[in-house]
Amino acid sequence: MIRNIGELVSVIIPSYNRAHLIGDSIRSVIAQTYTNLEIIVVDDGSTDNTEEVIAAIFDSRLRYIRQPNRGRSDARNHALSIASGKYITFLDSDDLYLPNKIELQVAYLKSHPGVGMIYTSAHCINDQGQLLAHKYEATKSGLIYESIAFFKPVTIPLPTVMTYKRVMDHVGSFDENLHRFEDTDMWRRISKSYRIDAMPEYTCLLRTHDDNSLLNQNPDHIAAALDYYAAKILNEDVEVNISVRRKGLAGIYKYYGHALLSVPQFSVTGKHLLRIASNYKSSSFWIGWSVRVYYRSANVAYRIFRKVRRLHVKS
């Protein structure tokens, strides 16, 4: 019998056609040393036997929800809307928790009440579960917008995160228009209001396979997601110095530009992204942009002034 000690943690797992992997992912949550959990699996319209795999897992803490295919951000938001836990953590249906992941993070948040979100280090594994050389290290703590909002220098994998339900309620749901960078976008928004701390412990195994390799991505979708994300940063993060945003956006476009250049058939898009990166670094580009914004604003203000003046004369 499981003794539920401590405050409830909601574990959110979206899935789409991962019947061959999701069972292991769920079992890695069931095996946690911290037991007061609700495990919310949202099946985003799978066409494989995901439902049968989950039906064979017997645990009173497991809740399975099936919805039409709307994307992983919608699936996570659905789970968030019904989550009851004080704490929220996430798992992708191809990744695994190490046994003490949740216990370590709950203990940290309980002993650091000023922290709004915690993330950890993670190992990468291949399809066979073997450790790869690549890994993610949790290194930056504090008010770390500049380090995490642009994917580099610090990348925070979603399964390594734990936060509070109240934090998620405050910053809002995952952006369902983003089909890439939706997790980075969430950490960016949290970082503007809350301290984020790093735990160096390794708590997750992140699986690398064909589905998430660069070769199987659509380069135009990556470019469109970058443009959308950049527009969000320029429009929403006005409290952040424009030079910080320029430098960060130049960096993320440069990173993906070089990544796409490494794949010959994606080179055209890669070069396009590098040109955009250069524009973000260019003073003349931003001076021109600032001048256009200034004159556009001045023109609007002048039209309003003339309208008000005419109304005054008529009266």
Q: Read off the pLDDT of residues 178-188 as tens digits, 9 standing for 90 and up.
A: 988 999 999 99
Cis preceding linkage at 153, omega within 30: yes
Quick one: pLDDT at residue 213? 72
Distance CA 101, CA 104 (A): 6
φ, ψ for residue 40 (rounded to 5)? -105, 110
Q: Domain-by-domain residue ranges, the chain?
A: 9-212, 214-281
Whether the per-residue pLDDT at 195 is higher than 60: the answer is: yes
More confident residue, 210 or 148: 148
* Residue-wise pLDDT tens digits, 240-256: 999 999 999 999 999 99
Distance CA 162, CA 255 (A): 27
Quick one: pLDDT at residue 1? 52
* Residue-wise pLDDT tens digits, 259-302: 999 999 999 999 999 999 999 987 555 555 454 544 554 454 44
Confidence band, pLDDT 50/70/90 cuts, at residue 26 = very high
More confident residue, 211 or 192: 192
User: What is the pLDDT averaged over residues 88-104?
Assistant: 97
**Which residues lie closer than 8 Å to 188 by C-beta, 6 or more apart?**
145, 148, 149, 233, 237
SS3 249: helix
Quick one: pLDDT at residue 295? 52
Quick one: pLDDT at residue 144? 97
Quick one: pLDDT at residue 214? 75
Mean pLDDT of all residues belonging to the chain: 90
φ, ψ for residue 112 (rounded to 5)? -130, 75
Whether the per-residue pLDDT at 212 is higher than 70: the answer is: no
Distance CA 98, CA 26 (A): 12
φ, ψ for residue 16 (rounded to 5)? -145, 115
117 and 45 Cβ atoms separated by less than 8 Å: no
Quick one: pLDDT at residue 315? 44
Confidence band, pLDDT 50/70/90 cuts, at residue 215 = confident
What does each C-alpha distance from 150 to 172, 185, 291 come to in angstroms? Answer: 19, 9, 26
Tell me the CATH number for domain 9-212. Answer: 3.90.550.10
**Of 20, 28, 199, 230, nearest in space to 117 by CA:** 199
Residue 99: Cβ within 10 Å count: 13
Amino acid type, 157? P
Buried/exposed 223-249: b ≥16 CB within 10 Å, e otherwise: bebbebbbebbeeebeebeeeebbebb
* Residue-wise pLDDT tens digits, 122-175: 999 998 889 999 999 999 999 999 999 999 999 999 999 999 999 999 999 999
**Which residues lie closer than 8 Å to 167 by C-beta, 6 or more apart?**
88, 116, 117, 190, 194
Quick one: pLDDT at residue 305? 47
* Residue-wise pLDDT tens digits, 51-84: 999 999 999 999 999 999 999 999 999 999 999 9
Scanning 1-68, the segments in alpha helix (DSSP H) are 19-30, 50-55
